[in-house]
Chain A
Amino acid sequence: MQELVLIQPIRAAENECSREAAQAVRRREFEARLAECGPLAFRVARGVLRNDADAEDVAQEALLRAYRRFDRLRDAQRFRGWLVRIVFRLALDRARSAKRRELRETEWAQPARRAAPPNAEELAASGEFQAHFDRAMDELPEKLRLVLLLAAMEGHTLEEVAAMLSLPVGTVKSRLFAGRKKLAEKLQCYVTNTKKR
């Protein structure tokens, strides 16, 4: 009994030490990936939210979530794809909740408070095409949007995108083609309307 009393605190201290060591190793390993994947996480979030501050928030949250679950990732080679999916999902959630909030505020807003519509020159200067483009991107199916975003990032080949999303290269190609075509169709209406005006 006396031996047990003596041995137990030593074992507890050993366990504590080994746990801390494991945590330090894991943190080092994660930080090595962070330098490489942090910008990727930010860009994916920015591509969905189109706002730097929100994108940073979401990317940071996704990175923390990935860090907490890092030991559950069985294949370390798939870290980028795994992180991209977490970020994309979180960014979509944030975008949806922002849209709901905006809708609520619009419903409750007084008509007098609404800003006057800008004239044609102002619209052009404020990047009307970009606004239409953003709206068209929002309307795209999620799987097409993610492929379009990843493929448009600098330094990403189609093979890399395919490996990141665990998809065949052919599927990535067809999604890319379909996504661009849909975007063009949606923007075609805008271009036609502008020409008519």
Chain B
Amino acid sequence: MLCDEYKEALIEAAASGAALPNALREHMQACEHCAAMLTGERALFAAVDAGLHKAANAAVRPSFVPNVQATLATETVPTRNPIPAWGLVCATGALALAAAFLSLPRGAHDKADTGTTTVARRVPAGAGEVELSHAAARKARFSAKAVAAKKGQAEEELCKGCRSGGRRLGRSGEARHTKPHRGYESTRSSS
């Protein structure tokens, strides 16, 4: 069990070729098995290095470079197109997309355009279809909202007056409420 603790450190030391740490050195002196293992590991790494050296440093035939040079002399390099192939592909794709978009029916264009949505409304009197632009529809909606808000404000002002119990006059000067009217709030909330 004790030797297992040193196994990793022993392999590391053999792989790196560095000096052994003190603890490991002391163990090596005491344990013959580990000492033999270290020797074996060192031999193995030496064999690995020798194999690598042999694999990586093969002799090059002297005729190799002249052969390549001779092949290069016959090689003609094609001139590069100023527009690369992917550029042509992109341009073709863009043209195809544009053509597909233009070939769509007119209605589809309008639907696709978010800025000018058309609102079709049927008029019951048989006047056909009336098309309102999105801007006009918005304007109408906003003006209706403004009127409603104004009305609501006036009513609210009036109600505040009612709640206070005082007398308030309308625009024309006639008395609108002679007494605080109860139930207005409830009527309003029920509606």
Contact = CB atoms under 8 A, between A and B. Distances in A.
Interface of A: 19, 23, 26-27, 30-31, 34-35, 38-39, 42-43, 46-47, 50, 52, 55-56, 59-60, 63-64, 67-68, 71, 129-130, 133-134, 137, 148-150, 152-154, 177, 180-181, 183-184, 187-188, 191
Please indicate which of the listed interface residues B41, B61, B77, B78 has the most CB atoms of chain A within 10 Å of its own CB: B77
B57 A153 contact: yes
A39 B77 contact: no
A180 B72 contact: no
A59 B64 contact: yes
Interface of B: 11, 15-16, 40-41, 44-45, 47-49, 51-58, 60-61, 64-65, 67-69, 71-73, 75, 77-80
A184 B44 contact: yes
B78 to A, nearest CB: 8
B191 to A, nearest CB: 77
Given A30-B72, A31-B72, A60-B67, A188 B44 contact: yes
Contacts of A148: 52, 56
Q: Is the interface of A mostly helix, strand, loop or mixed?
A: helix
A39 B60 contact: yes
A43 B58 contact: yes
B80 to A, nearest CB: 7
Contacts of B56: 43, 47, 148-150, 152-153
* Closest 6 pairs (CB-CB, A-B): A152-B56, A152-B52, A133-B51, A46-B58, A38-B65, A39-B60
Nearest to B80: A71
Contacts of B45: 180, 184
A157 to B, nearest CB: 14
A27 B69 CA distance: 10
Contacts of B73: 27
Contacts of A30: 72
A193 B65 CA distance: 43
Contact of A184 (B15, B68, B72, B78): B15
A126 B126 CA distance: 103
B93 to A, nearest CB: 24
